[in-house]
Amino acid sequence: MSQVQRPTSLLFLVVTAVVAVVGFAQEVPAHAASTPVPASHTQRVGTSAPTDAATKQVVYHGVAVQVPREWPVVDLTKRAHACARLDRPVVYLGAAPAQQDCPAHLVGRANTLWLQPASTSGQPMVSAHVGALAARVARSAIGHQSLAVLGGEHVQIRSTWAGSSATVDAASATVRTATGLPDTVGAVPPAPTTDPRAPTRPQSDHPAISPSTVRAATTFIGMGFDTCAAPSSSTMTSWLSSPYRAVGVYIGGSMRACGDGNLSASWAQQVTQSGWGLIPIYVGEQAPCVDQPNLAHIDPSRAAQQGAADAADAVAQAKRFGLGSGSAIFYDMEGYNEQATDAQTCRTAVVTFLSAWTSRLHAQGYRSGVYGSPTSVLTDIGRQIRAHTSFVVPDQVWSAYWDGLQNLYEQYAVPTFYDGYWTQHQRLHQYRGGVNETWGGVTLNIDPDWADATLPGAPANISYGTNETGPGGSGFVFTGPMQYWAPHPGTGAAGMAYSTHSSLVGREVNGATWARTLPAGAYNVQVYVPAGGGYTASARYVVTDSYGRTPVTINLGSGSGWRSLGVFHNDRTTLTTVHLSDYTGSSSKTLLVADALRFQVVGRALGAATGVPATPLSVGEVHLR
């Protein structure tokens, strides 16, 4: 996903075109995939196919195909973490790495061919010929993709296209046997393959386990991330050491820039059972006035039909991955130009499309979500709500506004965003883009998110213990720009400590807030300071209890482990908060840490005053929302 602030109800359609036109000839008998190819359709083994100056021959495991000469050939088996991206014209050879190194924000589609080892597919397929070879074929006009499993060759060919499939269809029409010819050497030089994460398995299309493999709806408040290619299950296990517990995955759409890869029903089942929530994303046609290249556009005259068709396809994809009724599916609508000369036509097309998207999802028992910029699509949705039109409002919204803040209330920064809707666990905020983070020894490029939403799966905040919380835990939030918070994986009470430098501008820039609803009583409030972090600042905290706000300063460099801020009281069950400010009052640049905090019970009965005076908070006051 990429935002500028600073896609019939069946997925795969029966192939009916003749080989001279699209390269796939339908074979009526059900056993055609195993029928010997007629000699008239097969070139002599070891000879070269007819070529012209505009094409070149690519050979993979006994299969030859003619492709445009300018297309690069990438041997995925020689790249430990290559990204098999579909937004560039290319020929891929071999299975994708188990863990692809893809930019998180990729969207868009180009003409591509991908030859790889054949695998079992859960997709409905028909018998056909691809060029000179018998095959089983699945083709999606809505998804701009096809899959052909070649009979007897142990090879499958995936193809994608942008606006028209003519180029990849013409290439597919040249497919033939090439026994005796060496495989084409990839144009990309080999990379070292000593990394233990380098894959040896072929990519697989897993059949869906059932339409309801994954729990449909769980309320989640906390940190999530999205990325182009679904991480491997082992990576998701490693990232359980992070404060993230929700992951955005692309499940389909004609403008999807990464394929299924690891994504399958079994993957979804495994990662959700281990404690992850899913944010299913579908990316198809975009606004007519979008400035981003390589994107298909909504046809204003067919916007409702296109929105409904994409929703039906999204449901088919969701079921393929085990996401049953009640699951939310988010449409990725990239940022578009509200000032374009045809802006009114553009806006009308977008809201008509999305209204139909939501209506069809509801009709099929799914929740609707929309991802996009608050200054374009979310503003236009807000206009429809205010005007009381017939627009069908999505169940959840996901704003792409890269201000770095873990919040959900953006009307102050973006006044045109309608903030009076989606207040009941119905929001996500993508607050940064393209960030590299390493947890459990595995690095991913992610777009981080803050969520208060209802998601499929089983997301759960990090559990620190009774009356404890910290990064990723319930009742903890960073209150300043996240680009200034550096994670320290493996460090701290739960291995999730963060640090930031002190503010030198005379006021708070960054902060963190811990909050707990506690029964009446007295509590020793303690913060955890990791060892060996070089934290030397006199850190300023403000504790808010029943008697007001109390500032407390401690020297983080004077000892690690649990450090007491003092004893504080509640005279009734109420919310107690602790806020850490990066403003230290010093002109020297120092290091502060945010980690676990606990409220240790001293007594249930109210005691005497602690001797710590309660004074008004003068700087850095931040409230949880």
Two tokens, residue 585: 């009052």
* φ/ψ (deg, to 5) at 24: -120, 120
pLDDT tens for 166-183 read 999 999 999 999 877 888
pLDDT at residue 418 tops 50: yes
Could you tell me the pLDDT band of residue 537, with boundaries at 50, 70 and 90? confident
CB 116 within 8 A of CB 155: yes
SS3 551: strand
CB 175 within 8 A of CB 150: yes
Q: What angle do CA 265, 267, 273 make, to 5 degrees?
A: 100
Query: β-strand 496-501 against 486-489: which pairing, if any?
Result: antiparallel
Two tokens, residue 406: 């873990």
Mean predicted lDDT score pLDDT of the chain: 84
- Looking at per-residue pLDDT, the higher value among 37 and 262 belongs to 262
pLDDT-wise least confident of 62-76, 260-274, 480-494, 603-617:
603-617
Report which DSSP code applies to 237.
H
pLDDT at residue 20 tops 50: no
The pLDDT value given to residue 231: 95
CA distance 478 to 500: 11
The pLDDT value given to residue 373: 94
pLDDT tens for 266-304 read 999 999 999 999 999 999 999 999 998 889 999 999 999
The pLDDT value given to residue 410: 62
Could you tell me the pLDDT band of residue 14, with boundaries at 50, 70 and 90? very low
CA distance 477 to 54: 57
pLDDT at residue 19 tops 60: no
CA distance 116 to 157: 7
CA distance 423 to 322: 28
The pLDDT value given to residue 77: 86
User: Residue 618 is which amino acid?
Assistant: S
CA distance 503 to 506: 7
Calculate the alpha carbon distances from 113 to 5, 65, 275, 346, 392 in Å: 34, 10, 36, 33, 38
The pLDDT value given to residue 571: 86
pLDDT tens for 141-173 read 999 999 999 987 789 999 999 989 999 999 999
Query: β-strand 133-140 against 145-150: which pairing, if any?
Result: antiparallel
Query: β-strand 396-400 against 367-372: which pairing, if any?
Result: parallel
The pLDDT value given to residue 605: 56
SS3 140: strand
Helix 343-363 vs helix 377-386: crossing angle, to nearest 10: 80
- Looking at per-residue pLDDT, the higher value among 448 and 587 belongs to 448
3-state class percentages of the chain: helix first, strand second, coil last, to nearest 5: 15, 35, 50
The pLDDT value given to residue 36: 28
pLDDT tens for 193-249 read 333 333 333 333 334 344 457 999 999 999 999 999 999 999 999 999 999 999 999
Calculate the alpha carbon distances from 209 to 12, 320, 321, 326 in Å: 18, 8, 8, 17
Could you tell me the pLDDT band of residue 340, with boundaries at 50, 70 and 90? confident
SS3 206: coil
